[in-house]
A and B are shown apart, each in its own frame.
Chain A
Amino acid sequence: MKTINLTLKIWRQAGPDAQGSFQTFESGPISIAMSFLEMLDVLNERLINSGDEPVAFDHDCREGICGMCGSVVNGEPHGPEKQTTLCQLHMRYFKDGDTIVIEPFRAKAFKLLKDLVIDRSAFDTLITEGGYVSVNTGAAPDANSIPVPAPKAEQALDAAECIGCGACVAACPNASAMLFVGAKISHLALLPQGNLERAKRALGMVKKMDELGFGNCGNERLCEEACPKGISIRNIARLNREYMRATFCSDE
């Protein structure tokens, strides 16, 4: 198996209020079949064995579907591969001798906890402001008792692909969360079940988004490029419409 040697420049910060700085490591031989996180595992094994503090980073499923992992790699959230989470990024995309700069997602709304680990609970707070459907579900309904046109279902599912990893916020020059909120608003508003509470949802989520300290969207499109799930900014346009519709036409 081919191996490569890399220089890793990683952001180290002991705690939320500590002063952080970059620390440089030589990776040693890394198999190109490894994932990015496995490469960090190798580094951490070595650090632990020599009695040093391992690099803290977030991860869970390592299958690209949970949204826990993510760092800014050479200036790009989740690294250079399009529509790929950091755990699914493989070392074959790097060359022998490369220097890789690894930084945490940076935003006022995402507090840095340690090294590359950030607190994304601002997204959970956003969901509690209306990113759900509150209906009495009752007994299981007959199939197709609520008609949903296939193209609408497809669009809703495309938006529902969002895993809440925060790469959109990390990529945005203004640290705006509009792609995330746009995706959540869209995937519910497009379906009949979510349609009922759309006005309350749009107003509540946007108000909370502003309160949490996310920035404003300048239509720079970097979120869409960084999104590991390929969520389109068409969802932001829908969020804009939903918000204005709720402001002017609803009783909320």
Chain B
Amino acid sequence: MSLIRRIIRSSIGKKYIMAVSGACLSLFLLTHLAGNSAIFWGKDVYNAYAAHLHSLGILIYILEVLLALVFFVHILVAVMLYFENLGARPNRYEVKKNGANNWNSRTMPYTGLIIFIFVLVHLVNFHFGERTVTTAEMVREVLSRPGYAAFYLFSLAALALHVSHGFWSMFQSMGLNHPKYNNFLRYGGLVTALVIGAVYMLIPMLVTLNDKFLR
């Protein structure tokens, strides 16, 4: 127990917690992305995928609880870090020049907050509530409303921005930084963010632009 307490209390321990939980969340993002891609093959394939997931029974509940736990840890430690960091510089600078290309890292707490709100709305849309229609119909119903479609697109852009820093950052935090593969990690992170953002965003765009999609 004292080991865990020591890790949580230390700055580098918290860094590792953010990196490991971030890695788990990235894996979830990719799994969810692969699953959601069934939607591009039409409503029957997509509904079959949803039915398959539900047929996992108790297993899916266990995974949901674990995922919620990882989310909780990632957010809790992020909030702790945010306030500790505010305290580390009580007096602000008059002029602050932010170096090249760090606006994704600078906005991590804010994109994180947007993602948190998005996850709540997304869960209310698709997870909680009564299930009277098929999953494909639910997707159409929610995303055909322009307000929701715009909110989904905005949040997914924030997600892509979050991942564009997070992917490289988690390797750096775990101590993986070497000229042999640094470029791969840096650009791999950008490509991953781009792919995640583009594929997820394609769904609300298709619903909005294509009247025959999922019908």
Of B10, B96, B108, which is within 8 A of A243 by CB?
B10
Contacts of B131 in A (CB 8 A): none
* Interface assignment of B147: CB less than 8 Å from any CB of chain A: no
Complex Cα distance A239/B175, Å?
8
Contact A220 B106 (CB under 8 A): yes
Q: Which residue of A lies closest to B7 (CB)?
A: A247
CB of A199 within 8 Å of the partner chain = no
CB pair B88–A247 under 8 Å, yes or no, is no
- Place the interface of chain B in its size category: 35 or more
Main secondary structure on chain A at its contact with chain B?
mixed
Residue B102 interfacial (CB < 8 Å): yes
Binary CB contact string for chain B from 12 to 56 against chain A (1 if under 8 A, 0 otherwise): 111110000000000000000000000000000000000000000
Bits for B102-136, please: 1 = Cβ < 8 Å to A, else 0: 10011010000000000000000000000000000
- Does B57 touch A at the CB level, under 8 Å? no
Provide the residues of chain B in CB contact with A178, threshold 8 Å: 11
Q: How far is the CB of B203 from chain A (nearest CB, A)?
A: 31
Question: Whole-angstrom distance between the alpha carbons of A13 and B100 in the complex?
Answer: 31
| Contact of A160 with B by CB under 8 A | no
Q: CB distance A109 to B88 under 8 Å?
A: yes
Asked if A179 is at the interface of the complex by the 8 Å CB criterion, the answer is no
Binds B, one of A90-98, A127-135, A230-238: A230-238
Q: Which residues of A contact B84 (CB under 8 A)?
A: 215-216
Q: B81 in the interface, Cβ–Cβ < 8 Å? A: yes
Task: Determine if A206 and B89 form an interchain contact, defined as CB atoms under 8 angstroms apart.
Answer: no
Minimum distance in angstroms from A208 CB to a CB of chain B: 11
Which among A32-40, A44-52, A68-76 touches the partner chain?
A: A68-76
Partner of B178, one of A206, A215, A221, A234: A234
Q: Are A107 and B105 in contact (CB under 8 A)?
A: no
Binary interface encoding of chain B residues 72-98 relative to chain A, with 1 for a CB under 8 A from any of its CBs, else 0? 000000000100110111111111111
* Cβ-defined contact, A219 with B11, below 8 A: no
Which of A22, A209, A222, A238 has a CB less than 8 Å from the CB of B11?
A209
Interface stretch of the complex, out of B137-145, B152-160, B166-174: B166-174
Given A72-B93, A206-B10, A218-B81, list of 14 further CB < 8 A pairs? A76-B97, A103-B93, A103-B94, A107-B88, A209-B11, A215-B85, A216-B84, A216-B88, A220-B105, A225-B100, A237-B175, A240-B16, A240-B172, A240-B175
Chain B residues packing against A (C-beta within 8 Å): 3, 6-7, 9-16, 81, 84-85, 87-100, 102, 105-106, 108, 165, 168-169, 172-179
13 residue pairs from A and B, CB less than 8 Å apart:
A74-B97, A175-B85, A175-B88, A216-B84, A219-B105, A219-B168, A220-B105, A221-B105, A225-B99, A225-B100, A234-B179, A238-B177, A244-B12
